Structure 1
Amino acid sequence: MRTHGWSGTAPADDVEAVERILTAARSAIERRGGEFTMAEIARDLGVTRQTVYRYFPNADALLRATAIAETGRFLDVLAEHLAGIRDPARAVVEGIAYTLERLSEDPYLSLLLTPGRAGGFSAGVTSDTALTFGRSILERFAVDWTQAGIGDAGLDELVEHMLRIVQSFVIDPGRPPRRGPDLRDYLTKWVAPAIGAPTAPSAAD
């Protein structure tokens, strides 16, 4: 770890250095979205670009790392939202619908799931980033997946299926875009049967 620069106050270790870089990236995203440069981050930190490159190979990697770190809060909110839904099909329907609805409100979730420079889908819907995030969503469902007859391999396939659906709605939300009950009714009719018949056609309040 470099001991000079850092606006006169060097981090104690690499962990703190990474956290400072992520904090600078968050500030840059709040200012101008995901279109920051490594030079901009280095300037904000008072270090050289080479110092930032020691921890992140490029701006895309830094953007992804920042988005992943920040989406933990979304996962907690999603878990609370879905806490009363134990039926697998209903949980999947509401999880997809709620995620799509939050995309416009959560800049970090949008960066992770929207096609573009650092979107989780820019490297493919089956990228490690997208699949890991999707598995994190399922693990926060109040669903007993074993009792539902869905093991680890099945969960991985379900994650891929959900991400492909989210991707399709992100790329083309429809004309007019489906929202609210209309979106949930559509997902209940065409997605829920792949998991099992839901106990109700619409989302939990």
Structure 2
Amino acid sequence: MSTIPDRDAPRRRGRPAGGGNSPIQARQALVDAAGRLFAERGLDVTMAEVARSAGVTRTVLYRHFSGRDELVVAVAAEVMDRYVGQVVQELIPTDDVCGLITESLVFVTTVVSRDPLLTLLSSGAEHGVASMLANSDALRVKVSGLYEQLFELFRDRLRPGLDPVDVGRYVLSVALSLLMDVVPGADDPDTVRRFVRTFVLPGIVAAPPTPGRVF
């Protein structure tokens, strides 16, 4: 004989695994909690503290992140997502592909690189945000993927024979060079603009601007 559950019976105490959240919600709660704790206290935060702040168990935390390094990258990716959204909103609505490439690189090298949380998260790396980008597949995909979509959209503006994926990865390599201070004066927006117009755009676009003095 089947047993019908008693709807009036008291519910068990305690939180379900993951705080009652779906796996996606639990992961996001962990990333949000880690971001808050890192911003408030720096990197001297334990995984247990992150789990407690997110309202989940350590078992749930380690189900999503194998260690703190992976969690740091996830927080950095969250910050990068916001910047990608900002770039799309501010720069994409244009048909000036030269200006878009130029200003996006200025944005990466003079705004993204100075983000306080990204700077904190990459504080142990020799080249800061650049090292974090170079060493994280997830972060590289976010930045190069944005450019790949852009160049697919403006394929007819590229030099004949160029593949948008290759161009996206090339522009990412330029951004890393600028972030690593390989280019003199890369912290100055006008220097970055002159550098991109003179040395970068001629290798990408079919109709580049006239080159000029850079340094």
TM-score between the two structures when normalised by the length of structure 2: 0.70
Q: Deviation of residue 83 (structure 1)?
A: 3.4
2:208 to 195, 198, 204: 198
2:108 to 99, 119, 123: 99
Q: Deviation of residue 120 (structure 1)?
A: 7.2
1:54 to 63, 67, 85: 63
Q: Deviation of residue 24 (structure 1)?
A: 0.8
Unaligned runs of 5+ in 2: 1-12
* Aligned residue type for 1:22: V
Unaligned runs of 5+ in 1: none
1:31 equivalent in structure 2: 40
1:18 equivalent in structure 2: 27
Question: Any residues of structure 2 matched to 1:26-175 within 5 Å, and which?
Answer: 26-34=35-43, 36-45=45-54, 47-107=56-116, 116=125, 121-122=131-132, 124=134, 128-138=137-147, 141=150, 144-149=153-158, 154-172=163-181
Counterpart Cα distance in 1 of 2:28 and 2:153: 35
CA contact (8 A) 2:65 2:71 kept: yes
CA contact (8 A) 1:131 1:159 kept: no
Counterpart Cα distance in 1 of 2:164 and 2:180: 24
**Which structure has the highest helix share of the two?**
2
Counterpart Cα distance in 2 of 1:129 and 1:120: 14
Q: How many residues align?
A: 198
CA contact (8 A) 1:135 1:159 kept: yes
Which of the pair has the greater relative contact order for Cα pairs under 8 Å at 6+ separation? 1
CA contact (8 A) 1:88 1:195 kept: no
Secondary structure in 2 matching 1:57: coil
Secondary structure in 2 matching 1:191: helix
Q: Deviation of residue 33 (structure 1)?
A: 4.2
Residue 50 and residue 128 in structure 1: after superposition, are their counterparts in 2 closer, same or farther (change >3 A)?
same
Residue 67 and residue 177 in structure 1: after superposition, are their counterparts in 2 closer, same or farther (change >3 A)?
closer
% same residue: 23
* Aligned residue type for 2:110: E
Counterpart Cα distance in 1 of 2:100 and 2:131: 23
TM-score between the two structures when normalised by the length of structure 1: 0.73
Q: Deviation of residue 28 (structure 1)?
A: 1.4
Secondary structure in 2 matching 1:198: coil
Counterpart Cα distance in 2 of 1:55 and 1:27: 18
Counterpart Cα distance in 1 of 2:196 and 2:93: 19
* Aligned residue type for 1:148: R
Secondary structure in 2 matching 1:36: coil
Any runs of at least 4 consecutive aligned residues in structure 1 with deviations exceeding 6 A, and if so which? 111-115
Cα RMSD for the two superposed structures: 3.9
